[in-house]
Amino acid sequence: MAKSDREGFKTVEADLNELDEKIQAHRKHIFHAVVWLVVILIITVVGLELWMAVRSYDSYEVSNSIERSDSDAAKYLSFCGNIIKYSNDGIVYTDKNNELIWNQAFEMNTPNITVCENYLAVYDKGGSNIYIIKKDGPQKQIETTMPIETVCIAKQGTVAVLMKDGITSYVKLYDRKGNELANGVFYAEKGGIPIDIALSNDAQKLAVDMVSVMDGNVKSTITFYNFGSVGQNEINNNVGVYSYADTLIPEIEYISNERMIAVADNQVILFTGDQKPQVDSQIFLKGDLESIAYDEKYVAVVTHNQGNEVSHHIAMYDMKGKLMMENDSTLEFSQIEFLDNHELCINNDYSCELYTAHGILRFSYTFDKEIHKIMSSGVGPSYIFMLDGVIEEVRLQ
């Protein structure tokens, strides 16, 4: 009897081992199935993203439409995911459904806006008023004693102001409460005329762009000032001077704390540096410059094609000067700009083209209503079309 019991026990033990092997095999099968499923999902997602990245569209579907009745003089821009509208008599901030967030009334002959992250400044070019405004609403009004040429704003609300009184120019820095932080005077007879300024996002660095003419020759000079600890060890906080003979540089702008772009008549100069900016790269133009646009990632240059059927050549570079894409367009555009999704938008009153950094013509369309503004919206091919009398939230198809 005992022997029979032991044999039966061995049989049960063998059965349990066999069962355990089957369980382990089943688990491996499930694991391999899950791994393959994840791989397939990743390939599908990547493939879908690549397909979306290279896909072109020629129509769209309207998901939301709102009537609007703005004056033709109103201008628009995207700000912190919503919409700024401004004109001679004020500035209005609304969401995508045209619901009011805040507004500020004023009277300006030539209103201009400069933006840095959650702050903007609206100023009257040739006038004396500046309004410092945060995403949450107006913060401070500053009234200058001399006509304003241009204004820059930093991410904490500090503003740099270039003013002119005859042939003498003045640069002043104010904090967001209107307190003066620094100032400088520039005399034309001592080194030229300032025509633009640029303020870094952290307000630690200021660049002044000056032009001088001697014996019929034009020279542009960019001087960098540092208001931090590094600049305090330098004479007049001056941490660098760059001069360019036979070159006119009408525009400079900081696009981050470390990078500044200078637009010349024959090249685009990219500066970099935390404390003492240096030339990082230069993009030399191969034709007559028609227009230029840039954001924190890319710079797009449009030049004229001489003697070709295609009239405009578009070249896009990254901020190291590397060529990202080239394309030609026959669209007679009146405006060029980067959208928040880093796509390049060129348009006239009724037609637009959208280009990606990979050279894909994302969207080309001619509307039956006048275009006031095109903005990217959300994820994927979603946009806001601000047309004459209507705001449309759309998805390309």
* pLDDT (0 to 100) of residue 264: 96
Greater pLDDT, 15 or 50: 15
The answer on pLDDT for 308 being more than 80 is no
How far apart are the C-alpha atoms of 16 and 18, rounded to whole Å?
Answer: 5
Per DSSP, the three-state class of 20 is helix
> Could you report the per-residue pLDDT of 157-189, keeping only the tens digit for each?
999 999 999 989 999 999 999 999 999 999 988
* pLDDT (0 to 100) of residue 35: 80
Distance between first and last Cα of the chain = 82
How far apart are the C-alpha atoms of 88 and 90, rounded to whole Å?
Answer: 6
Per DSSP, the three-state class of 368 is coil
pLDDT classification of 210: cutoffs 50, 70, 90: very high
pLDDT classification of 378: cutoffs 50, 70, 90: confident
Side by side, the strands of the sheet bearing 60-67 are 60-67, 390-396, 382-387, 371-376
* pLDDT (0 to 100) of residue 19: 72
Residue 198: name the closest of 258, 132, 284, 279 by CA: 258
How far apart are the C-alpha atoms of 94 and 85, rounded to whole Å?
Answer: 8
Other C-beta atoms closer than 10 Å to the C-beta of 269 total 23
The answer on pLDDT for 1 being more than 50 is no
Distance of CA 237 to the CA centre of its chain: 29
* pLDDT (0 to 100) of residue 27: 81
Q: Strand (E) positions, 188-216?
A: 193-199, 205-214
The angle at the Cα of 62, spanning 60 to 66, to the nearest 5 degrees, equals 140
Run of H or E including 139: strand 137-143
Average pLDDT over residues 303-320: 85
Residue type, 245: A
Output the DSSP codes for 123-169. EETTSSEEEEEETTEEEEEEE-SS-EEEEEE-TTS-EEEEEEETTEE
Greater pLDDT, 43 or 396: 396
The answer on pLDDT for 248 being more than 50 is yes
Return the structure tokens found at 196. Answer: 């633009």
Helices (H), the chain: 2-54, 188-191, 229-232
Pairing mode of beta strands 390-396, 278-284? unpaired
Contacts of 391 (CB under 8 A, 6+ apart): 65, 66, 68, 96, 98, 384, 385
Per DSSP, the three-state class of 70 is coil
How far apart are the C-alpha atoms of 14 and 18, rounded to whole Å?
Answer: 6
Handedness of CA 43, 44, 46, 51 (dihedral sign): positive
Distances (CA, A) of 159 to 67, 176, 197, 287: 36, 7, 11, 36
* pLDDT (0 to 100) of residue 291: 95
The answer on pLDDT for 370 being more than 80 is yes
> Could you report the per-residue pLDDT of 290-303, keeping only the tens digit for each?
999 999 999 999 99
pLDDT classification of 42: cutoffs 50, 70, 90: confident
pLDDT classification of 25: cutoffs 50, 70, 90: confident
DSSP 167: T
Average pLDDT over residues 3-24: 63
Residue 319 near residue 300, CB atoms below 8 Å = no
How far apart are the C-alpha atoms of 143 and 149, rounded to whole Å?
Answer: 14
* pLDDT (0 to 100) of residue 11: 60
> Could you report the per-residue pLDDT of 106-119, keeping only the tens digit for each?
999 999 999 999 99
Pairing mode of beta strands 251-254, 238-245? unpaired
